[in-house]
A = this chain, B = another copy of it.
Amino acid sequence: MTPGPLSDRTRRVLACLVKDYIDSGEPVASAALCRRAGLGVSSATIRNVLAQLEDMGYVRQPHTSAGRVPTDLGYRYYVDMLLDTRRATRDASSVEARLREQAGAAPLFDQLLSSASHVLFEFSHHVGFAIAPSEQHAIFQRIEFVPLSGSRVLVVTVARGNHVSQKVIDTGEEIPPSALSQAASYLNAEFGGMPLADVRDAVIARLEQERTLYDQLRAIALTLARTTLEGIETPASVFIDGASSLADTGDATPVSLSTLRTLLQMVEEKQRLVRLLDAYLEGPGVAVVIGAEHHDPQLRGCSLVVAAYGDGARRGAVGIIGPTRMHYSRAISVVDGAAVAVARFLRDEN
């Protein structure tokens, strides 16, 4: 019951048990630990230690005469230990190399994130994802209007870091191409270099200020810009790869069918993932959410390893989702590596 500090031996037994279980997927017996753990004590002593650990809630027995299996709390202890030791030894290099290879020399930001999710999947064999920062704080570089049929216009916005986004708006009346391109030039000259949210506010302010706009061109440009920037808070694009790993039939079903369903739904309705992460992403570095620690009861039974990249208001996230029984050590270093690589890319591009 007492969650007090564990003795060194107890810690080592727990760590070894978790590691063994992650590798084998089968309850770990005291005899096996005795052999593997390398501290010179007999299985009987280990059994006493295990009984303690069970009292404290770190391990449990599937049934009376089975070995021990880590609980979520046990995983948590193990992971915290890892996070402490790992902090120094980042081996991001191979992840970063693969990411550069995958994404090409100078990709669009979306391509980079898509590649990141793919690389995370490749390295971890679990579902990998990458989430873009909210567009609000992106630095406006350029806008372009492409006329479509009727009164519709395709708006292409480019922000720093090759962050391209597009949107279709309906202008109500047909605007000649020449007017569109002049409007674009005006906006590019006027607002280039500002954060998108500020551009939006500035546009609205000007429209308010000068009720009657004598300059027809400026009126068109500002109105177009306002419509374009209206929905700027909402999206945050999400990239996911490796959903097929959920059906991996390695040994037994790694996650329950209902959990699988929830995850697949998340793959489709990507914004759910964003909402999920908002709750967990605070500090820097890698965060791990294990099994029952999830708020959503459907997600107990799977773990989330996630790291934020970028700074201040312009933060995104990369990570992986897999069964609670995953190779945390590898997962953590891979996710960490990916976050560092994406952050570096952002810095270099600016």
A residues neighboring B (CB under 8 Å): 106-108, 142, 144, 146-150, 152, 154, 156, 158, 162, 164, 166, 168, 170, 181, 241-244, 246-249, 253, 257-258, 260-261, 264-265, 267-268, 349
Contacts and interface: CB of A to CB of B under 8 A. Distances in A.
Given A148-B164, A154-B158, A248-B261, 13 more contacts: A106-B149, A146-B158, A149-B162, A154-B156, A156-B166, A162-B168, A166-B166, A243-B267, A246-B264, A247-B264, A249-B257, A249-B258, A249-B261
A93 to B, nearest CB: 25
Nearest to A260: B247
A106 B149 CA distance: 10
A100 to B, nearest CB: 16
29 contacts: A106-B149, A106-B150, A106-B170, A107-B168, A108-B148, A108-B154, A142-B146, A144-B144, A144-B146, A144-B156, A146-B158, A146-B164, A148-B158, A148-B162, A148-B164, A154-B156, A154-B158, A154-B164, A156-B166, A162-B168, A243-B243, A243-B267, A243-B268, A244-B264, A246-B264, A247-B257, A247-B260, A249-B261, A253-B257
Nearest to A164: B154
A338 to B, nearest CB: 18
Nearest to A160: B149
- The binding surface of chain A is classed by DSSP as mixed
**Centre residue among A142, A162, A242, A244 by max chain B CB count within 10 A:** A244
Given A158-B146, A265-B244, A152 B106 contact: yes
Contact of A268 (B106, B181, B244, B249): B244
Nearest to A162: B148
Contacts of A247: 257, 260-261, 264
